[in-house]
Chains A and B, each alone.
Chain A
């Protein structure tokens, strides 16, 4: 055997390896392709051999060839073979090759699923690592679906090396298989606090990528990230987090406020430029999101700008570039603070680095004002002259035009100056932007009436010197300007001083060398000019000369190859001839000719057409003619009027029906447009050259190369205007001062002194001449603007999954059946960890729906409705919250969602009491840093409990629920929270009955312990019975108090000392016909448990319930208790006092109750993964205890669900009829259970570091089941 191996390797050593291949290629420089093709042949031979080493060597070589651009997909199967080698060396080669050339359409990829799964679970961490790395490059939706669960398991691998890779690859999995996001998210979130910095960094990385695309779903993670930000020292992580915050702040301004301080601290303290830069960036984002809401943020802006200035002044080009980049972000909202650094930015225009110059240009755009526009543009014009390379020069040109034309020429005070700038720009060599200049000229001339005279004069000069523009072949782009010039001269010809000269210029033979669409404009406008000349003096020498010129020169255009030119020329030629004929008969026709071109052209807004509302009764999609029948063949189709434009034969046949319909619609639209006065047809520039036009294509063209004189004679220099403008402004100012002085003199006796007019301010600059910018016309009843659709192909769209409910305490929408990750069935038992477990438990639920009573179905439906409603309301409420901050505590807790009973088992594990620490985002965002303060601020009343009287079981009497009167709502809903509650109830309570009412708000994990008694009434049924937390606290003829539940609020800082708090929700329901008000809730504090009262109130004062109750209405209040020791159950006596108000009288009443705190109410559902669980058990710190339950007939998963629900445990692992469960107390005691069942006997072995607590919890569990 060994011999064989050695022999094989001796054979092998004469094969080419990668180095030989590379060497060979280098030695065959001349015939590289040929050499490589022989190599590929060799490789093919090698791949046919059985020896895996030979194959791996071949694949290795292929990877190299792939880099050189050779397609190696034909070897995909061999790559898979090498991947599946048991040796790491070859496996790595295989995975590398796969990662380089596999992709979604590689068909052998589906063969790899099992191999990858095997590698993922390999005992060798590098096998796993290599598989993960490879997979990250070629993961497909199928692979993602099949392997998601395996990868999730790896996320809690013992080795950080694997954990970080598994965490990172999850992002790819999410992208390909979005359904995996919800189940995997809790664990991903947990990894944010992984002890290993690498894993932590990976988790931050993934969440940042996710949040970048759908930031709103990750808003609730803000507190956690905030904590990381203030604690982490890893700059990579910090940068990612800070970038993430930059994306989150626009959604939540309060977050921004909270961020400013730590960020400014970081800016001051950090020495890392990259971190500094990102901080500045995020501060900018914050400031943008805050807009002007915060008074003292000018300091932050100043800080940012200051730091950026330092970056820009740095000698490092990279910092300079980034500084400018960030500066441009500030510019949008705080232009003033950037403008003071104009010097610096203008300096950057001189930088040798083009990227930096472009950035500086961008900045200039936002920095201009009326005052400095001319100066800036002058500077830019200098750069235009200096610039080398057309790209940068073109960029400059467009920037100049952008800067000047921005926001409707807002900053231009002197349009004569602007026109001369435009004319100067035409001298640019080789620019592509002729049409841009042209459209600016047209726009200004049309919209600024006062400038027309000047513009026409300039354009006439331009036309006269057209040869300078067209002389050089390189300057083709610029001749577009002539289009504008000709049109302006023609249209506004009344301003022309010497129309004859211009007419002559427009009819020069050289014009025929211009592009067709420009010639067409020339011809048409020559006619306009002719009309003007005619009008100015019919029969004069000028007009006769003009006539002769037209008749003499136009035939040249009649011969044009361009149809448009030809048509117009021949038309006008005939017209002129006809005029001549008439004139010979002494007919006065000037007026009639001028009438041909009468009428003012006004600009139309670019979107005007789109915004014309469809008139009522007009269906644009309706058939105009009878639709063609299906059987009708295409040829029989009646020829449409517009068939010329849409030749039928060009349509692909297979889509004929749709295409036809589309064509029809298009035609309908065209007709509509033809009749629409607002519709502007496409520009005439769509010229087509018809080669087949006979005989005209070879008009001799003499090109005169005029490269030297680029200065157009007679053109004004814009500098002149700058000077003029300066003088004018000075004069204006002087005038103003004079006037002011006068005024002051006049008023001296009257009022006190006026302050001296300081430096010229924006408003002081008056435009040179009255500029009336004609606004663009819009249809009368234009519709509001149209919004841009998002790219529907964006892969991240699928990841827009609401994770809030996962992140928040419980799931509003717990993981549904379809959301569970696929688990291979035969492995189910061993892999069952939280999410998978969910799926499993749930499946068993869904398998038994038949057994459900109809009653229950009804109830379920109702619950669902409510859930849906609730989630809707949740959104609404978020909006509300911005307004009432005082509500934060209440609102925050309110967010803890209610969960459907059937689903309790599913959600038992994953969601997150880890988040209980983080508490609610709003809570966090509220200004109070310590929860107790907030509670003090919030109106907290006292609650106590009578021995809970078993209420009619939730399933038993859902139909007898009373409905609530709706009219009192307005009064009741002072806060959004109350409103929500109320609406929920209204929805829920269909029947109008007064007495019996109950709430089956099913809580899953954080349900209070008080419901234990009530559980006794729950019927035994096969499917998971509904479980309720509401139980009666006390009742009399006036009022009923229902204890909803108790749940725990932990300190945000996770300080367990502060965490010993229990929140009790009490629902008050008014059962009488009178109005209840001034309710006061009081409890006799024991040594151990105290009601939290607002600061300043005595130890025996009651708490006012923050609402009043009209008849039949119920509302909920929450009260916070502080606990010293939690190992023993507690009972507290309490009283509720209230005033019953009738129309004529009011009486004082009271109601006593007893509040019962069980030990389980101190437990928080905390997910725990098996490895951590195992560690915990091994640690040996835990005391053991056990209990046996007899005669339990319910299915095992019901049992588990019940423990989870009533006693706040989560399932760690479940194997057949054995399960391990975990929970944690608010003071950090671990409680571990091992539950086994056999034949109606359930044995629970428990471990806890606090034996008394454990004993009590077990007693309570026992009690729960004894009542079944």
Chain B
């Protein structure tokens, strides 16, 4: 079982938090902070497993994380999950994000948490791995987005126009200052499939 999935940046700012067990908001924030402290002080070339934090988990739980450019992707899992499997799942997740956002960067996650949630929902459900095939995930996400678009129809047009206008100054927000894209290089990942 996966207990939580957290994404935060190099400064510990949460970019996505998904808890498959209920905690109240304060505890959630503490967990994010604690996890950030545990993960951020580790060197780049050490192993990606951490024996659980205090707040989340306990002895049976592990933190499995990957660090991509400016973002940490952390999964908190129990012993029924394969460690290497989860690492691979993180990779699939990021690659999927990359496909869906076309060269994903932190900004995409900042402004479109909802979309990230939707993608995640096609991979992990209620703490259990639902789908690991990237093409299948993308297909389902696309189909849903298409539905959303068709629902918006004419009524959505003005809103889209306005949002386009609003976003006009978005390029000024340095898209590449955030060290640009989450470069998806596959770092000696144990071949999984």
Binding site for B on A (CB under 8 A): 2, 5-6, 8-10, 12-14, 17-20, 22-23, 26, 60, 63-64, 66-71, 87-89, 92-93, 96, 100, 103-104, 124, 126, 129-130, 132-133, 136-137, 139, 161, 164-165, 168-169, 171-172, 198, 201-202, 205-206, 208-209, 212, 235-236, 239, 243, 271-274, 277-278, 315-322, 352-356
Contacts and interface: CB of A to CB of B under 8 A. Distances in A.
B190 A92 contact: no
Contacts, number: 183
Contact of A236 (B118, B126, B132, B167): B132
B158 A209 contact: no
B125 A136 contact: yes
Interface in B121-150: 121, 125-133, 136, 140, 143-144, 147-148
A272 B193 contact: yes
Interface stretch (B47-55, B69-77, B95-103): B47-55
A206 B128 CA distance: 8
Contacts of B168: none
B190 A319 contact: yes
Contacts of A68: 14
Contact of B85 (A89, A126, A236, A271): A236
Q: Say which size band chain B's interface belongs to.
A: 35 or more
B94 interface: no
Nearest to A60: B114
Contacts of A129: 140
A720 to B, nearest CB: 37
Given A67-B17, A272-B193, A318-B48, A164 B113 contact: no
Contacts of A243: 80, 82
B49 A321 contact: yes
A89 B25 contact: no
Nearest to B20: A137
B191 A13 contact: no
Contacts of A321: 47, 49
A345 B26 CA distance: 42
B84 A236 contact: no
A168 B130 contact: yes
B179 interface: no
B190 to A, nearest CB: 3
Given A93-B114, A352-B46, A88 B84 contact: no
A12 B163 CA distance: 11
Contacts of B155: 5-6, 8-9
A10 B156 CA distance: 9
Interface of B: 1, 14, 16-18, 20, 22, 24-26, 28-29, 43, 45-51, 80, 82-85, 87-88, 110-114, 117-118, 121, 125-133, 136, 140, 143-144, 147-148, 151-152, 154-156, 158-159, 161-163, 166-167, 188, 190-193
Nearest to A104: B22
A749 B54 CA distance: 72
B129 A165 contact: no
A315 B188 CA distance: 9
Nearest to B82: A239
Given A19-B167, A93-B114, A104-B22, A235 B46 contact: no
User: Which of A10, A124, A318, A352 gathers most chain B CB within 10 Å?
Assistant: A318
B26 A274 contact: no
A76 B155 CA distance: 27
Given A69-B26, A318-B47, A236 B129 contact: yes
Nearest to B51: A355
Contacts of B14: 67-68
A84 to B, nearest CB: 16
A354 B50 CA distance: 10
Nearest to A175: B126
Contacts of B112: 18-19
Majority secondary structure of chain A interface residues (helix, strand, loop or mixed)? helix
Contacts of B111: 18-19, 22-23
Contact of A13 (B29, B48, B162): B162
Contacts of A19: 111-112, 163, 166-167
Contacts of B121: 96, 130, 133
B85 to A, nearest CB: 5
B144 A92 contact: yes
A168 B25 contact: no
Nearest to A18: B114
Contacts of A92: 118, 144, 148
Nearest to A102: B22
Nearest to B192: A272
A658 B25 CA distance: 37
B144 A126 contact: yes
A69 B126 contact: no
B47 A352 contact: no
24 contacts: A5-B155, A6-B158, A8-B155, A9-B155, A13-B159, A13-B163, A18-B114, A19-B112, A19-B166, A67-B16, A89-B151, A96-B121, A100-B18, A133-B125, A161-B140, A171-B128, A212-B80, A236-B85, A243-B82, A277-B84, A321-B49, A322-B83, A322-B84, A355-B47
B47 A353 contact: yes
Contacts of B83: 274, 277, 318, 322
B25 A66 contact: yes
A67 B28 CA distance: 9
Nearest to A197: B133
Nearest to A139: B126
A651 to B, nearest CB: 31
A17 B84 contact: no
Given A19-B166, A69-B29, A93-B114, A235 B190 contact: no
A318 B80 contact: no
Nearest to A270: B191
Given A133-B121, A272-B192, A319-B190, A205 B128 contact: yes
A178 to B, nearest CB: 17
A14 B126 CA distance: 36
A273 B148 CA distance: 40
Nearest to B162: A13
Contacts of B131: 164, 198
B19 to A, nearest CB: 8
B49 A235 contact: no
Contacts of B25: 66, 69-71
Given A103-B22, A243-B82, A63 B166 contact: no
A92 B143 CA distance: 13
B128 A352 contact: no
Closest 8 CB pairs of A and B: A136-B126, A273-B190, A274-B84, A103-B22, A317-B47, A353-B46, A13-B162, A69-B29
Given A22-B111, A236-B129, A272-B190, A88 B88 contact: no
